[in-house]
Structure 1
């Protein structure tokens, strides 16, 4: 199946805000729309994202909202308000043919990776970032997020993605709106498998998303692509605010290996993991967790995909700031300098 990157947002088109997971909050919705307006983007709020809604719409209604946004010729991009934990139930109600026939740039991640994997199966490239929290935290939109959001909205590809100069693991308090602490970004690190060429860039279409959503799709086994379509792909994963124990990530990758899936990926890009999150069932060490996660992942790759290349600590997913990783887009990972590029399909 061929892939299509939906065309950039035109000046005469609006961006639809939908809520495939949870309805919106009036204050953060307003802030997000204002910041999109500052980028020259007109927005339209679709029914599921109505801030007066107390509960999420039914799965069928949420699917209808997505289809209405994709098939509206006046809409050139669609952005999810926020994530959640329920979007898997929406997919059975979607008309995949209608979405594929009307490819539109979709923005979302976390629970919205359900829809992004659904679009991947139809050959439609989609993007990370959502309105909340990515566009509404802090006194202004972070310049790093803004730079790559502009590219994702208005350009053909993201091109070369540079590391952010700074990052934060702090949660933003929407009541006090106090500034967060930011720290220097050490940049990504690269692991080259024992059978891989350290001088040979890896190039392939990205598949994956938030670890929890990928695990759900492996468990449900209803929306996985044919394994052959993953040959030569790049697995993109990030661990979200769930902060799963490294061994759990390892177990899932091991199961993918035994299923004959992990060996199909030529490369892996891992997002910078959060360690500061809402109350957890365990207490991760913020200094040790990323290294433990890397060790577990590389152990399973060495077992099942020794000719792959993996990059860790990229600025996508639940880290802040972040860039909108194109799921289904062609990624090039250069082990010589850790560079990550998107485009030239």
Structure 2
């Protein structure tokens, strides 16, 4: 690959981390969950959270939210940036960002979902980041922080080691409604996970990651926000996941097909597909139907990838993205997808 990316230096215990709402200000809508998340952030990482004017401001303008992102990059005391949660309008924030500020003092950025916009903006600026870490989803709710999340959070922000990505054995699509006091000490409904599904040749691939939430990737590409030719992803690892909008399998396949037509599927050597959410706070299909819906998305993605790149190693069911427990994964960092041993390793340097 021809595009060089900077890997921001790690923070040290006692350093400050900016906690921002570049999309939806869930911190303001559900402050109790947010405040518990901030306490746990310090407990897990040793870092001191710093909020900005729009962290809790519901319906802040795109320009105001961007100003907070710019300010966090401009402040030398800030050594990491964590998004509270995703949303659906971060695409309108991106034009107000100043890439030179991020380049002058690169910092680890963590976020999921709508924050795919920021991950791709950082990539275009030449900066690697980490896909995952929304505090309102993975730190604030429930009786504790999940082990795999805590380990990858520390690795992304502080320690920078290489970790094996494993299956925690259980998963929830959605937690307790954040307006419900039980959200502070109860997980959502969890169920046993299925074994990961491996496809393609039995070989090992080590490459740089690129991707995020499929629905947002579609927006990013439509807006022309990833203006590079596909060969910048040559030999890389595509990481993709779907949101709580619960897209039908055919729609998922259509977006992946567009990545094939764009040349992205042909450029990468491996594809990691997250375990998708198939229920939400108002819709909870039966166990059988949930399994069928997950299998439908899996089959749609595998069929399209095999059509455009039969040599790609594909693994489906990885716990990142919109389900919990969740691994944070490098975006622009190195991941090894071993189709022979059926193991995955991520480098958090």
- Match for residue 5 of structure 1? 7
CA distance in 1: counterparts of 2:263 and 2:126, whole angstroms: 22
- Match for residue 335 of structure 1? 339
CA distance in 1: counterparts of 2:233 and 2:337, whole angstroms: 16
Structure 1 pair 201/344, CA: closer, same or farther in 2 (3 Å)? farther
The answer to whether residue 86 in structure 2 is matched with residue 83 in structure 1 is yes
CA distance in 2: counterparts of 1:126 and 1:74, whole angstroms: 19
Q: Which runs of 5+ in 1 are unaligned?
A: none
The answer to whether residue 153 in structure 2 is matched with residue 183 in structure 1 is no
Structure 1 pair 312/29, CA: closer, same or farther in 2 (3 Å)? same
Structure 1 residue 167: Cα displacement: 1.7
> Which of 261, 268, 272 is equivalent to 1:269?
272
Structure 1 pair 18/308, CA: closer, same or farther in 2 (3 Å)? same
CA contact (8 A) 2:141 2:187 kept: no
Give runs of aligned pairs for residues 272-287 of structure 1, distance below 5 A: 272-279=275-282, 285-287=289-291
**TM-score, scaled to structure 2:** 0.90
> Which of 15, 26, 33 is equivalent to 1:28?
33
Q: Which has the higher helix share?
A: 2
- The secondary structure found in structure 2 opposite 1:15 is strand
- Match for residue 311 of structure 1? 315
- Match for residue 44 of structure 1? 50
Structure 1 pair 290/54, CA: closer, same or farther in 2 (3 Å)? closer
Q: Residue by residue, what CA displacement relative to the aligned partner does 1:146-190 show, whole Å, maximum 9, x if unpaired? A: 122122221124422222132223432331414533333334221
- Match for residue 116 of structure 2? 113
CA contact (8 A) 2:66 2:97 kept: yes
CA distance in 2: counterparts of 1:79 and 1:344, whole angstroms: 16
**TM-score, scaled to structure 1:** 0.91
Give runs of aligned pairs for residues 197-276 of structure 1, distance below 5 A: 198=202, 200-276=203-279
Structure 1 pair 180/252, CA: closer, same or farther in 2 (3 Å)? closer
- The secondary structure found in structure 2 opposite 1:9 is coil
- Match for residue 147 of structure 1? 151
Structure 1 residue 279: Cα displacement: 5.0
CA contact (8 A) 1:201 1:333 kept: yes
How many equivalent residue pairs?
Answer: 336
CA distance in 2: counterparts of 1:113 and 1:134, whole angstroms: 17
CA distance in 1: counterparts of 2:344 and 2:317, whole angstroms: 12
Structure 1 residue 344: Cα displacement: 8.7
CA contact (8 A) 1:271 1:313 kept: yes
CA distance in 2: counterparts of 1:13 and 1:98, whole angstroms: 19
CA contact (8 A) 1:333 1:339 kept: yes
Q: Which runs of 4+ in 1 moved over 3 A?
A: 178-181
CA RMSD of aligned residues (A): 2.0
- The secondary structure found in structure 2 opposite 1:288 is helix
Structure 1 residue 134: Cα displacement: 1.3
CA distance in 2: counterparts of 1:221 and 1:152, whole angstroms: 28
Give runs of aligned pairs for residues 57-136 of structure 1, distance below 5 A: 58-127=61-130, 128-136=132-140
Q: Residue by residue, what CA displacement relative to the aligned partner does 1:264-305 show, whole Å, maximum 9, x if unpaired? A: 11110011111112457x999201112111111111112111
Structure 1 residue 54: Cα displacement: 3.5
- Match for residue 14 of structure 1? 16
Q: Which runs of 5+ in 2 are unaligned?
A: none
